[in-house]
Amino acid sequence: MKITTRFLLSLAALLFAPGCIEFAEQTMTYRHEAKTDTLYIFQDYRGIFGADKSDGLSDNELEQFNSVLKTQRTFFFNNWITEFNREEAIKTLAELRREYDASQVSSKRRRPAPAVRTLRNYGTRIRVLELQGELIFSTVEPVLRELVKQAAYCRHVILDCRRVTGADSVSLGLLVTSATDLAAADPPVRLAYCNAALFQSELIAAGAAEAAIFPDIDAALESSEDLLLAELCGLAWQLPEPVSLPHCQLFRDCTPEDIEWLEQRMPARRFDPGASIVLAGERASEIFFIASGSVEVRLRMADGQRGSRVDVFGAGMSFGEMAFLDNSPRSADVIALEPVECRVLDHALFTALEQERPQLKFVLLTALARQVCANLRQTNRELAAMRS
């Protein structure tokens, strides 16, 4: 890691006297630039004066002051002088990098509109704390303090350890003890971990429940969302399967006559678990409406292998709209996670609406536009949370 020091010297007053220079206020802050792996250290000295606070600096004091300015020797004055130490500064980074909640960033699983509204309103009860650096006794302490603070107003806390470079047994033991204390609180708070493969076995040996450890942040968020929705809504937020067309999100504004007309013309298709429903690069000629089961959307990597999961759709939802509307190739694979039944709207039927049921086509296009806008708003919220 490259380390850069910068001094921000704000001279509120210069009073000169013999002896050692002092500062009315000193602060030290850190910023790690991941792209260049550079650690920037900012020291801010305010109110510089001589030892006796009179109106002059001795030659010795001027030499000390110029040493700081010219040679950038990095000292932090707080009752005694502490010289900058690279190793200790890096360890200081093992604290909180960022925090956000589930009202800002949600899991990739798409949910029915009532569940989305519930998570938007109560998503602050799920907090994500991103950690970074090395977890040791001295650096885990601010994390523990933050856990106590979060427990006052949330029910789930997720520790994202993707940027943690290591952890000792003492720090992991303290985290597990904190998890036990949070679970026994009133109301209880659930502590989960994700991206902790580097020290997962040690974490389990320290007493962490395997059910509380997730491979990535998406899985941890989805689990916490499920538990929060069950607590707030019971099972009422889940649509009973199979979901008929009137209860699919895109058809909710259609008249009964339009629904009957579509029912007679939209064929049903069934897929086994693991089956590819859509493949990246294919021409898009259909929109799929899920009657039962769930599917996941995965991007293709440069080598042709399936990459990260970008979406999960369940009963009552649809997929394939964007490529269908602009007649472009599919951008991702869609795979059945369980037995899936879909109803299919193809281009020929969609084109026929122009002559046979123009009002229905307008309703469907409006619903599609509304859905795209909702997705863009959620993306904007997540980007804003990630920049904070």
Evaluate if residue 329 carries a pLDDT over 80. Answer: yes
Looking at residue 9, its pLDDT comes to 34
Cα 362 versus chain centre, distance: 36
The region of weakest confidence among 32-46, 133-147, 256-270 is: 32-46
Looking at residue 242, its pLDDT comes to 87
Q: What is the mean pLDDT of residues 97-117?
A: 89
Q: What is the mean pLDDT of residues 93-107?
A: 81
User: Letter for the amino acid at 307?
Assistant: G
Q: What is the mean pLDDT of residues 232-241?
A: 80
Spatial strand order of the sheet with 295-300 comes to: 276-278, 332-336, 295-300, 306-313
Place of tokens 């523990």: 144
CATH of domain 245-387: 2.60.120.10
- In 217-285, which ranges are E strands? 268-271, 276-278
Looking at residue 343, its pLDDT comes to 95
Looking at residue 382, its pLDDT comes to 72
Mean pLDDT of the chain: 81
Looking at residue 43, its pLDDT comes to 64
The percentage of residues in the chain with a pLDDT greater than 90, rounded to a whole number, is: 47
Cβ-Cβ contacts under 8 Å for 57 (sequence gap 6 or more): 14, 16, 17, 18, 21, 50, 65
Architecture in CATH of 96-233:
2-Layer Sandwich (3.30)
What global pTM score does this model have? 0.69
Looking at residue 377, its pLDDT comes to 83
Domain boundaries, the chain: 2-92, 96-233, 245-387
Q: Pick the residue with more confidence: 267 or 74?
A: 267
Q: Pick the residue with more confidence: 14 or 107?
A: 107
Evaluate if residue 206 carries a pLDDT over 90. Answer: yes
Evaluate if residue 29 carries a pLDDT over 50. Answer: yes
- Read off the pLDDT of residues 129-168 as tens digits, 9 standing for 90 and up: 999 888 888 788 888 988 988 888 899 999 999 999 889 9
Looking at residue 64, its pLDDT comes to 63
Cα 314 versus chain centre, distance: 21
- Read off the pLDDT of residues 182-191 as tens digits, 9 standing for 90 and up: 999 989 999 9
Evaluate if residue 308 carries a pLDDT over 70. Answer: yes
Q: What is the mean pLDDT of residues 121-136?
A: 92
The region of weakest confidence among 28-37, 38-47, 48-57, 315-324 is: 48-57
Q: Report how far residue 247's alpha carbon sits from residue 256's, in angstroms, rounded to the nearest whole number.
A: 12
Evaluate if residue 12 carries a pLDDT over 60. Answer: no
